Amino acid sequence: MPTYGELFSIGPNGLYGDYGLGACASALTYNTAYVDQAAPDTYSVTTSPQCVVQVNAPNTNAATAGNVFLFWPVGSGPLDAALVSSTWEGNSGTASQGHFHRLVQTGARQTGIIVLNSDTEPWKFSAYLFDSTETVPLSQIGATIALSPLQSQALPWTVSTRLVGSNLSVKAWPIAQPEPPWTSSTNVASWTVPTHGPGPFQTSSMGLSGWAAASLPPGTVATYTGLSISPEQQTAVFTGQRGRYSAEDLLNLADGVGQVSLTFRFEVLDSRLSYLFDVSPPTSARMTLRVSTSQTVKRVLDGFELTPLDALKIDPFSHRLRPIYKLETGDEWPLGVFLFDDSALHHNSAGSSFSAPLTDQTPIIDQPRLGSYSIPVGGAIYPQIVRLLNQFGVQYSIPATSHAVASTPVSWKPGDSTYTVLANLFALCHWYPPYFDNFGVLRGRPIPSPEGSHGAHVYTTGSSDAVGGVSGFVDATPSRIFDKSLTELDGLVQAPNRYVVTSPQTQGAPITATYVPPESFPNSRARRGFWITSYASVNGLTNKAQAYQHARNNFITDVRANMNYEFASMPDPRHDIFDRVLLNGQICIETGHSMTLTPEGPHTHQVRKVWADVVA
């Protein structure tokens, strides 16, 4: 990999430092790629002796939307943390302009992170994860943010985007005005990138950086000057090495790995999740992180304590806590963002010590609504989700769109919590219930199909004959399961073998569908001899197929359903919520896990087998 100084050689200081001042954009040629393309429409890049770069949409193009186009200098190298800047001189029609970070190209696949402004309201900016192989290639991160001072200011603007670790920001200002600081509350928008998040929209810790254009009408151009890319100092998650072993090798207990050294540290954040300072719990504190998919508050931290000196720094009303798992290589993973709950000050002759249980940020949205809330017949579900999430100022990452609509009026009475409303709307989109991930980002994720799924976390007892094993299964993966900790749990008494979903009787003729697990399911009617029924009423069902999908999703996410397993391992920070686990060759969904925040752990896991699908 080239060093920063070797990436470019034009200009007095190369690209980094004064590109756009000491070097001309026309001196470069550009690589290009599409995140999304409305084929056969195309864009192209041209440069001029006046150091102007233009993205052109030919008159022969048919579509306005559907193209997301990237360009970057030939010969540029990957960066883990970068500052990308340009001046947006204007365009000859409505267009969206932007910058991208951490582009990774694997064959024809493009993945990375992009910031774009709106083509109709250009002072509004959105951030996305992108994957060009997905049907919907953009997955929005958090809210669309308006930079209000730009609303009354015409182009040209200078725009900079900065990505360091998981912290992504955009800053924009009219060129006739002085540059605002990155702490500006009006000219800067920020998001937290879920770099270790589950799902298809994965991002790399390093990749290419550059510029973007989208939604150009046929026969128009988007114009850029002053283009520059510069490295930023990495201050968040980074990749280290212990000898020949990477962090992944150590966590996976690769051949030759014996003991693994790790520790935990604790960051205090403000209400905007900006870092303030570290605190150090006493060595006697025994803290446990618990995650359960069956609870509204899915992540809690028990046993947190502070010494008298650190206790004086904490404001339990406005501060947040972010535990960090740190491996001996220097790699770090966040383990969630927590609110203080029922804190206690213990006074003694040495001062005041502090203890508190902590919960994730769910209480922010799990509040009763003051009025009723309704969606009319034919109302789109997705805009309502975005509208509700934007009311709370939390970082969120949800799929870029959903086509779900309400077939009948959907309503909630005063006093119903916003979490309940969101959970119902998420269900209509066939997403998992809302949850806050390891980065403190509220996630909306489609419920995956069991068929063809691959485990995100691999565990084996080292024997194909072990409990939970698959006949003939052979895997050379070293066992990470503590000896004698794997237990198979029998849920025959509680586990349903029939899932019924119906619309409320008050919404016209009911829409009803039933999902029956396969006969191989240990608790199937064929084996049990009678039905055990799970019955659910769902607002806003459109048709029988949608009701059937709901019933099937209820089976996939039901923590009661057989077969369930428990086992223990060394602490692994890569586990989040609703993760997939490959246990002795069979696909499972993790319904909960509990990590003791000490180097020796243990880290206990509760997983449930995902059964093959059938047509009911």
- The backbone torsions φ and ψ at residue 88, rounded to the nearest 5 degrees and listed phi first, read -90, 105
Which of 29-33, 35-39, 144-148, 472-476 has the lowest average pLDDT? 472-476
Max mean pLDDT among 53-62, 243-252, 396-405, 559-568 falls in 53-62
Q: What average pLDDT score do residues 333-346 get?
A: 83
361 or 556, which is more confident: 361
- Please give the Cα distance from 282 to 265 (Å, whole number): 12
Mean pLDDT of 563-586: 90
pLDDT of 198 > 50? The answer is no
- Kindly indicate the confidence band of residue 505, based on its pLDDT and cuts at 50, 70 and 90: low
- Alpha carbons within 13 A on the beta-carbon side of 524: 14
Query: What is the reported pLDDT for 13?
Result: 26
**Which of the two residues, 458 and 541, has the higher pLDDT score?**
458
Across the chain, mean pLDDT equals 81
Whether the predicted pLDDT of 475 surpasses 70: no
Express each pLDDT in 518-534 by its tens digit. Answer: 887 878 888 888 999 99
C-alpha span between 463 and 31 (Å, rounded): 49
pLDDT digits (tens, 9 = 90+) for 26-52: 446 789 999 998 878 899 999 886 678
Between 148 and 258, the more confident residue is: 148
The residue that leads in pLDDT, 259 or 168, is 168
Phi–psi pair at 180, nearest 5 degrees: -75, 160
Tokens describing residue 14 = 């190369």
Q: Assign 223 a pLDDT band (cuts: 50, 70, 90).
A: very high
Highest mean pLDDT out of 7-11, 141-145, 381-385, 458-462 = 141-145
Q: How far is CA 180 from CA 159, 185, 200, in A?
A: 11, 10, 36
The H-assigned helical ranges of 285-373 are: 308-311, 362-365
Assigned token pair, 608 = 């449930």
- Alpha-carbon span 84 to 313, nearest angstrom: 36
pLDDT of residue 367: 94
Token pair of 109 as six digits: 């696949």
Burial 254-288 (b: 16+ CB within 10 A, else e): eeeeeebebebebbbbeeebeeeeebebeeeeebe
* Identity of the amino acid at 107: G
* pLDDT confidence bin for 69, thresholds 50/70/90: very high
Mean pLDDT of 452-465: 65
Which domains are seen in the chain, by residue range? 4-231 (2.60.120.560), 246-358 (2.40.10), 364-443 (3.55.50), 457-609 (no CATH)
Find, among 447, 396, 391, the residue nearest to 418 by Cα: 391
* pLDDT tier at 406, thresholds 50, 70, 90: confident
Tokens linked to 38: 């409305």
What tokens appear for 366 in the block?
Answer: 């799990």
Q: Among 444, 4, 442, which Cα is nearest to 206's? A: 4
Q: What percent of the chain has pLDDT over 70?
A: 82
pLDDT at 199: 54
**Which tokens sit at 321?**
């806590």
**Residue 347: per-residue pLDDT:** 65
Residue 165 has pLDDT above 90, yes or no: no
Query: Which letter, b or e, does each residue of 92-113 get, where b requires 16 or more Cβ atoms within 10 Å of its Cβ?
Result: eeebbbbbbbbbbeeeeebbbb
Q: Is 163 exposed, middle or buried (0-12, 13-18, 19+ CB in 10 A)?
A: buried
pLDDT, residue 510, reads: 81
Q: Is the per-residue pLDDT at 297 higher than 90?
A: yes
The H-or-E segment that residue 570 falls in is none
Q: Which of 470, 563, 577 is nearest to 517 (CA)?
A: 563
Spell out the alpha helix ranges (H) of 500-574: 525-528, 544-557
pTM, two decimals, is 0.60
b/e per residue, 119-158, with b = 16+ CB within 10 A?
beebbbbbbbbbbbebeebbbbbbbbbebebbeebeebbb
